[in-house]
Amino acid sequence: MRTDTEVEKTMLAHGAASAGSAVGALPSKWQLGGALWLLGMPGVVAVVWALLPPLKANEALLPLPLWAVVLLSGLQTAVLLAIAVAVGVWLAPRVGLYAPAMSAWMGGKPVGAALSAQCKPGVLGGMAGAAWLWGLSLVAPLALQPADPSSSMPLVVKLLYGGITEELLMRWGLMTLLLWLGWRVVQRGQGKPGKALVAGAVLFSAVLFAVGHLPAAQAMTGMLTPQVIAFVLVGNTAFGLVAGWLYARHGLEAALIAHVLAHLLSYPVL
């Protein structure tokens, strides 16, 4: 039986995925992991910054001083991001998943070819995502429609956290882990993961991505009604499927481009 390392080398040697073939010589795991973690940290800072006003308004109810709550919140998210990045760095190449542009950059290789291959699918995915969000805005439950549009999440938070940090957490980290687990259990770590395993990882990570939005919906509405739950799950699962497919087929940066563009083109409707 071949080890994971041997399988990884075989996949790299034969270009296991179209995205992977554009990577070339991969940088060290520490280099790539550090770069991806730094890429996601502005989103962590942005979301903590966005939480300051409501926390300040309810400072008397906080169990700890405001500065401590803010620090712990940011630290918790930063640690989760580090774990997700580490999972992706160690497991993604073993199952044919890559971050081609980041890998090329950190490996001292030309970035243009790796990134250009992902721009078109990423842009198309972002436009489809934005159209989906505009359509959802027409049928959104009243409880999820802010009375004051200026009170909605700032665009910078949606772009940095939603578009980048979430992709590192949910696709690079979670989806990679799900695919690796399925590959180890079903195929015993042999060969390239089958299409059914990839589809399953895309689906399950999309559903979990949607479930992760329920706490925010509850905070906005005060109560999760069946209508709100269905809206949040269907809306986010659909885009999660798009982002997951882009990651599996073209590479992480395609999913990042799509997520950022979807938020940019749909702001401020949702």
More confident residue, 51 or 19: 51
Residue with tokens 């109560």: 223
**Using one digit for the tens of pLDDT, what is the confidence trace for 100-153?**
999 999 988 889 988 999 999 999 999 999 999 999 989 988 888 765 555 578
Distance from C-alpha of 96 to C-alpha of 180, rounded to nearest angstrom = 10
Q: Using a pLDDT cut of 90, give the percent of the chain over it.
A: 69
Residue with tokens 């109810």: 61
Residue 69: exposure state from Cβ atoms within 10 A (0-12, 13-18, ≥19):
middle
pLDDT of residue 19: 47
Residue 235: exposure state from Cβ atoms within 10 A (0-12, 13-18, ≥19):
buried
Report how far apart, in Å, the C-alpha atoms of 12 and of each of 106, 176, 181, 191 are.
Answer: 17, 16, 20, 12
Q: SS3 sequence, 32-65?
A: HHHHHHHHHHHHHHHHHHHHHHHHHHCHHHCCCC
pLDDT of residue 60: 86
Average pLDDT score over residue span 2-31: 54
Report how far apart, in Å, the C-alpha atoms of 223 and of each of 102, 157, 205, 228, 264 are.
Answer: 41, 24, 25, 9, 28
pLDDT of residue 1: 45
* Arithmetic mean of pLDDT over the chain: 89
Tell me if 177 sits within 8 A of 91, measured CB to CB.
yes
Assessment of whether the complete model's pTM goes beyond 0.85: yes
Distance from C-alpha of 245 to C-alpha of 249, rounded to nearest angstrom = 6
pLDDT of residue 3: 52
pLDDT at position 27 over 90: no
Tell me if 98 sits within 8 A of 251, measured CB to CB.
yes
Q: Using a pLDDT cut of 70, give the percent of the chain over it.
A: 88
Tell me if 169 sits within 8 A of 39, measured CB to CB.
no
Nearest Cα residue to 263 out of 144, 122, 162: 162
pLDDT of residue 79: 98
Average pLDDT score over residue span 48-73: 89
Distance from C-alpha of 235 to C-alpha of 263, rounded to nearest angstrom = 13
- State the DSSP H helix or E strand holding residue 193, giving kind and residue range, or none if neither: none
- The residue ranges of every structural domain in the chain are 4-266
pLDDT grade for 59, boundaries at 50, 70 and 90: confident
Distance from C-alpha of 203 to C-alpha of 24, rounded to nearest angstrom = 29
pLDDT of residue 25: 55
**Using one digit for the tens of pLDDT, what is the confidence trace for 211-247?**
999 998 888 888 899 999 999 999 999 999 999 999 9
pLDDT at position 6 over 60: no
pLDDT of residue 148: 56
